[in-house]
Each structure stands twice: as C-alpha cells, then as structure tokens.
Structure 1
Amino acid sequence: MGFMQFISIIVPLTLTSAAPIISTSIGGLFSERSGVVNIGLEGLMMVGAFTAATVTVLLEGMVGSTSPWLPYLALIGILAGIIVGGLFSIIHAYVSINLRADQVISGTAINLLAGGITIYLCQIIFKQQRTLAFLTGIKKEDVPVLSKIPVLGDFFFSKVHITSYVIILIVVIVWYIVYKTPFGLRLRAVGEHPGAADSMGINVYKMRYIGVILSGMFAGLGGAIMVLTQDIQYTYATIHGTGFIALAALIFGKWHPFGVLGAGLFFGFSQALGIVAYQIKFLSKLPQEFFWAFPYVLTVIALVAFSGKSVGPRAAGKPYEKGER
C-alpha cells in the first residue's frame, strides 16, 4: 500500500471512529464540569445505539424499502437516541445528586443496567438478542464545495460520514458555551466550588442535573452515530468499550473541548490503524489479535502517561449538600 493510498483510507476511518468518542467525551465533560463523575458513559452509549437502531428499523418497516424517505430515517433514529440517552441519565443524576450515592458505583450500575435492558428489549421487540439489520444507516457522502479542493478534498471531504464534521462543529460550539457564556461560568463554578456558587444564588442541584442530562444526550448521540455508521444492527458488543475510551479521552484532553477533540482523534486513529494495519507491509506479519487490542493498549498507555498530570474539576465526585461550605 502506497503512502497516498494509506492516507486516503486512514483519514475517513479515523473521522468515523473518532466521532462517537468525541461526542461521548463532550458528554462526560458537561457532567464532570458540573461536579458529577459519569462512569456510565458506556451504558448511555448502549442505550443511544439501541434506540437509534430500533427506531430506524421500525420506521423502515413502516415506510417500505422503496420509500424516498428511507435515507432520512437514520436522522430520526439519532434524535431518538439523543432523547432516550438524556432520559436514561436522569437515573444517574437522581442517585448521585439527590441521594448523594457514590458516583462511580452509580455509573457502573448504569453500565450493567443498560447492557441488560437493551438485550432484554431486543428479545421482546425482535425475538432475538439483537435488533434486526437496518436497510440504510448514515451513508458516506462528499462534503459540498470542500470535496472539490485539490488533494485535500479527496483525503478529507470525499466519501465521509457528514456526522464526523458535525461533531467537530459541536466541539467549537461547546467550547464557546462552556467558556464564553454565563451558563458555562455557572457550570464550571458548581464543579469547582459548589458552596461558593450556592452562596451566589446558583442552584447547584439544577446545574448538576443539566450537566448529567447533557452527558446522557451526547453519549446517546455517540452511540447512535456509532451503530449507524459502523454497524448494521445493535448487539451487546456494538459499543465494545468505546464509552471507556471516551472517558480516557476526557482525561487525556484535560476536560477541555479542544483537548477532547485532539484526544478523540488520537484514539480514533488508533482504532482505524487497527483496522488497516494488516495491509501495511511491515505490520502485516503481526497477529490480527494485536490490532484488535491496539486501541485499548494505547488507551492504557495514555492514561498511565498523562492521568497524573491531569487535574479535573475540584468538586467532581463529591456529593453536595445544600448549605455546605
């Protein structure tokens, strides 16, 4: 495989792999910036992926395989995944904020509950432990105008999932919201000094609820994008640890939107390289299992190398009781 051919293959794969990681990491950013650790990103991705696949399949059955609306049904599936992800995250919000339970245990319970309930619902709806295969997910398309740019257009903007660039745009919007708006200032305040924020009239519980629900919505979006771009149906193994990679990207990116973007692209590249590495001459002799493990090995290495240097929001993981200083 020549270098130019390698670039033309690896770039679209990297963008496709990175999009759900970045989206889910942004969700984790909102939650942890508000002071609530969300280990349940994996489970929230499962819920979003299951909902998106199920809604897409059921709508396809309603409109038929020849309907002109067929290519747009995945967008409705994505919207459903976002909504259900947000609703499911309320469980974690209530347990962590109102009941002041251990947030790590609550997030772990979310992961276990999501894995069980999605497969159970698959059995109820489809009579099997997976959804039916959908006819069309999110197709690769040329980005208008940009795909016409010589060389760069072929590498970065031709035959790509448009959702990848939508996620990058969302990162810019999130940066502006978190660092340039009163809402972002209040969100960061309750994650750093909730007592001081409370004394200034900020409703700490409300801000933390918003942060956790937004984390569920973005994780649901990540799961929906993942299943509709990288798979043909939802199964228990669809997400395969991507939520935990997103959590690593959040730490690696130091809880900053652009840091998360860079970390997400890094982990997306590691996943893409694991897919195409067997076509590279000097790597082709290594066992396939090495490439399957490659993204997770890099995740561990990145965490070991950088987690000690990363300092998250000061109040993250600490339950808050009104009147506390």
Structure 2
Amino acid sequence: APNTETLNSPETFNAVAIPGLSEIPVIGPILFRQSFIVYLMYVVVALVWFGLYRTRWGLRLRSVGEHPQAADTVGIKVAATRYRAVLLAGAVAGLGGAFYTLVSVPRFNQEMTAGAGFIALAAVIFGKWDPIRATLAALLFGFATNLQGVLSVIGSPVPSQFMLMLPYIVTIFAVAGLVGRSRAPAADGEPYIKS
C-alpha cells in the first residue's frame, strides 16, 4: 500500500506514573509507571474475577462450561451465554492487541506477536483457569521476556539465540513441571447440541 510508513506509525501512549506507588523500589517502576492500557488491564482482571466468582452471571457461565446439559435443564440459554462470553473474551483480547500496536511496538505488521498468543494460553493453563493466577503467570512470562532483553543489553556471554529462547523455555518448564493438575472446564471446546 502507498504511504505505509506514514499510515503505520501511530503515536504511542505515554507512561503514566502513579504518585507514591511508582517510587516503591523495584516494584514501583515495573507496575506503576505504565500506560493507561496496563492500568485498565488491572481493572479488567479484577472485574472478570469478580464477575466469574461473585455474580449470578459468573455462576451461569461456569455451569455452561462445566455441564451445559445441566445448565440447559434449569433454563440457562447455553448458546447465548457462550456467545456473550466469547464476545467479552474478544474485547479483552482486543485490549491486548491495542497494547501491542499502541504501546509495545508502535506499528502493525506480520508476526509482530512472535508466538505470544501461545504463551498466553500457557499462562491460562499455568494459572489453572483463574483470571488472577493467569495474570500472575503472564507477568512471570513477561519478566522472562524482558530479562532476555536486559541480558542482551548488558552484554551477557550467553549466545543471543539462547536469549531469544528464554521466555519460551520458562513457559515450557512452568507448564510441564510446576502446574501439577490443571483441569480445563469439562465442556471446553465441545459444541452443545440440545437433545
């Protein structure tokens, strides 16, 4: 397309420091000097957790994920509940995409996520399908990704290929060895056909 450089270089969101919290040693700059999308992520994670575990909607959604036939017998519309959940999940994933294109890498191009979607799936499995645990797992994997960048900058003697593998190796070890038993919802990925 013509004018690719002009049209594919959006202005990025600036980091906003939260007074007081951003001055905490080590943790402050990491968690509280971020763009507003990151702060929005903290709020969304809390809302999703609250919605899943403290509301009637969350109970219905979890019942549809575990045993859709039982949910259907008590009058819950399984297909509508699933569609709404997928739409909500798509909106949250869209926030992740907005972070990539407006904060992390100020452009949109092919292969820009470099497999981060699979790391996100691993974070969900590592977090045992809980929003808060999955967020903590994602922060661990993000730490591994940034550690790879920092070690490259300070001139670590480790070859760069091994540095690029670091986040994926941490992901494999975390999911393969540290999770224990992580069980997905029983009806995850199974279409429900009303009988």
The TM-score normalised by the length of structure 2 is 0.89
Match of residue 82 from structure 2: 208
Match of residue 175 from structure 2: 303
Separation in structure 1 between the aligned mates of residue 192 and residue 89 of structure 2, nearest angstrom: 19
Separation in structure 1 between the aligned mates of residue 6 and residue 126 of structure 2, nearest angstrom: 33
Task: After superposition, give the CA deviation of every residue in 1:84-105 in whole Å (9 maximum; x if it has no partner).
Answer: xxxxxxxxxxxxxxxxxxxxxx
**Aligned partner letter, 1:248:** A
What value does the CA root-mean-square deviation take over the aligned residues? 2.4
Q: 1:237 to 1:168 in 2, by over 3 A?
A: same
Separation in structure 1 between the aligned mates of residue 31 and residue 117 of structure 2, nearest angstrom: 27
The answer for unaligned runs of 5 or more in structure 1 is 1-122
Q: How many residues align?
A: 195
Answer yes or no: is 1:264 the counterpart of 2:144.
no
Separation in structure 1 between the aligned mates of residue 3 and residue 27 of structure 2, nearest angstrom: 45
The answer for unaligned runs of 5 or more in structure 2 is none
Using CA pairs under 8 Å that are at least 6 residues apart, name the structure with larger relative contact order, 1 or 2. 1
Report how far residue 278 of structure 1 moved. 2.4
Answer yes or no: is 1:286 the counterpart of 2:158.
yes
Task: After superposition, give the CA deviation of every residue in 1:238-281 in whole Å (9 maximum; x if it has no partner).
Answer: 11111111111011101001111110111110111011012457
- 3-state secondary structure, aligned to 2:9: coil
Task: After superposition, give the CA deviation of every residue in 1:210-234 in whole Å (9 maximum; x if it has no partner).
Answer: 1111121111110111121111210
Match of residue 61 from structure 2: 187
User: Does the 8 Å contact 1:142/1:157 carry over to 2?
Assistant: no
Q: 1:274 to 1:130 in 2, by over 3 A?
A: farther
Separation in structure 2 between the aligned mates of residue 184 and residue 158 of structure 1, nearest angstrom: 29
User: Does the 8 Å contact 1:192/1:313 carry over to 2?
Assistant: yes
Separation in structure 1 between the aligned mates of residue 51 and residue 78 of structure 2, nearest angstrom: 18
Separation in structure 2 between the aligned mates of residue 309 and residue 224 of structure 1, nearest angstrom: 33
User: Does the 8 Å contact 2:12/2:102 carry over to 1?
Assistant: yes
- 3-state secondary structure, aligned to 1:309: coil
Match of residue 12 from structure 2: 137
**Aligned partner letter, 1:316:** D
Q: 1:158 to 1:213 in 2, by over 3 A?
A: closer
Separation in structure 2 between the aligned mates of residue 287 and residue 158 of structure 1, nearest angstrom: 32
4+ runs deviating over 6 angstroms: none
- 3-state secondary structure, aligned to 1:300: helix
Q: 1:286 to 1:238 in 2, by over 3 A?
A: same
Flag the structure with higher helix content. Answer: 1
Q: 1:234 to 1:130 in 2, by over 3 A?
A: farther
The TM-score normalised by the length of structure 1 is 0.55
Separation in structure 1 between the aligned mates of residue 7 and residue 70 of structure 2, nearest angstrom: 48
Report how far residue 140 of structure 1 moved. 1.5
State percent identity of aligned pairs. 38
User: Does the 8 Å contact 2:37/2:95 carry over to 1?
Assistant: no
User: Does the 8 Å contact 1:186/1:202 carry over to 2?
Assistant: yes
User: Does the 8 Å contact 1:189/1:197 carry over to 2?
Assistant: yes
Answer yes or no: is 1:254 the counterpart of 2:128.
yes
Q: 1:154 to 1:214 in 2, by over 3 A?
A: closer
Report how far residue 155 of structure 1 moved. 3.2
Match of residue 276 from structure 1: 150
User: Does the 8 Å contact 2:100/2:106 carry over to 1?
Assistant: no
Separation in structure 2 between the aligned mates of residue 298 and residue 313 of structure 1, nearest angstrom: 25
